Amino acid sequence: MGGVRAGGLMRVLAVRTVLPEHRYEQRQITEAVAGSVRTDERLLERLHSATQVSGRNLALPIEDYLGLDGFTAANDTYIATALDLTERAVRQALDGAGLDPAEVDHLVFCSSTGVATPSLDAALAQRVGLREDVRRLPVFGLGCAAGAAGLSRVHDYLLAWPEQVAVLVCVELCSLTVQRDDASIANLVGSGLFGDGAAAVVAAGDRRTVPVRRPGGPGRGPRIVATGSRLYPGTERLMGWNVGEHGFRIVLAADLVDHVEATLARDVTAFLRRHGLSPEEITSWVCHPGGPKVIDTIAEAFGLGDGELDLTWESLRKAGNLSSVSVLNVLEETIARRPRPPGSPGVLMALGPGFSAEMALLRW
C-alpha cells in the first residue's frame, strides 16, 4: 500500500463547512429534475428516495438552473460561487483556530466540479489576505477522495515543515454538472445524491506554537500520524466524468459497491496492521458518506454498530454527498460532538475515482 508514513504529528486546529444559502427539500429537487430531464417520473422518484437524502443546499435558486445553457455558463457560475463559499470557509476556520491569514504558509485547494486557470486558489489567497509567498497546490480530479487525500498532502508538507501552518480547502458544486439531456441511471442517481458546499481545515506542524483554544469554542481536532493510499488498476470505469462539450457527464457504475465490499476491509486492515492496530481498536470512524449502500458496506465490513457511523449518515441525509467536502464535514462534526479520550485511535477514509481509497490514522 503506497503512501504510508508515520512519525509526524500534524494537528488539526479547526474545520469549518459552508453550504450555499439556497436550501431545498428532496421532493422539490425531484420535481425540478422531472421537469427538465425526460425520464420515467416513477423511476426518478424511486432513485431519489433510495439515496435517503432529505434535502440539499444548491449553488443557485432552483429555477435558475434552466437558464444554464451550456458548460460555459455552468463553469462561470462555479467560479463565482466557489470563491464566495471558500472565502467564508477559510475565514471561519482561521477564526476557529485563532490564527490570522498572514500566518498561513501553505494552501492546498481541491475540487473536481469546475475548472479555472489561474486556479481558484490564486484568487482565494488574495481575497482572504494570505501572504504573497504562500505556497499553493491546486488538485483536480480526485473527486470524493480529495478531502482525505488533501489532508494527507497537508500532513506530508507539515512533516517536512513542522513549524508551519497549512490550510486545506475543498469545494464542490455538483448540482452544476447535472445533465438535462441525460436520462441514464447514473445521471438520475447523481441528481438525487450529490450536493454543493465547501470546507476548510487549518492544521499545524508539531513544532508550531498555536493559540490557546478560545473558551466555549469546539475543541482541537485530532493529530494525523499516518496516511495511506490504495489505487485499484483497471477500475477507472467505476466512477468519474466523461468530459465533452456538454461539460461533466457523470460515470457511476452499478457494481461500484461490489468492489468496495471486496477490497475495503482488507486494505484498511492492512493499513492499520502496519501501525500495530486492528479495526477493533479504532474508537472513531470518520467516513465519507458515499451513499447508503457504501455506508452499509463499511459498517458490515468492520462490524460497526451503536451509532458509530451516525455522523456519516447525518451528513448524507442533511446535505447529500458533497464529494470531497463530505468527509471534512463529518470530521468537523466529530470534533465538535464526538471527541475521544486523549491517545484514542481513529480512522478517516474516503473513496474516489481511480478507483481509489484514501486513509488517515488519527490520534485524539
Give the separation between CA 222 and CA 220, rounded to whole angstroms. Answer: 7
Opening angle at CA 230, ends 229 and 231, nearest 5: 125
From the list 110, 144, 174, 287, the catalytic residue is 144
Type of residue found at 184: S
Looking at beta carbons, which pairs linking 238-244 to residues 24 or more positions away fall under 8 Å? 238/353, 238/355, 239/143, 239/144, 239/352, 239/353, 239/354, 239/355, 240/143, 240/353, 241/112, 241/177
Q: Within the chain, where are the H helices? A: 26-36, 41-50, 71-97, 120-128, 146-160, 185-193, 256-273, 292-302, 310-319, 326-337
- Is residue 197 packed enough to be buried (19+ CB in 10 Å), middle (13-18) or exposed (0-12)? buried
| Residue 234 DSSP SS3 | coil
Give the separation between CA 233 and CA 197, rounded to whole angstroms. Answer: 30
- Is 324 within 8 Å of 111 (Cβ atoms)? yes
- Tell which residue, 341, 239, 333, has the closest CA to residue 290: 239
β-bridge mates for residue 196, sequence order: 173
Opening angle at CA 160, ends 158 and 164, nearest 5: 45
Asked if 287 is an active-site residue, the reply is no
- Tell which residue, 253, 183, 250, 135, has the closest CA to residue 33: 183
- The residue with cell 490504495 is 230
Phi-psi region of 129 (alpha: psi -120 to 50; beta: other; left: phi over 0): left
Please give the span between the terminal C-alpha atoms of the chain, in angstroms, as a whole number. Answer: 24
Q: Which residues are tagged catalytic?
A: 144
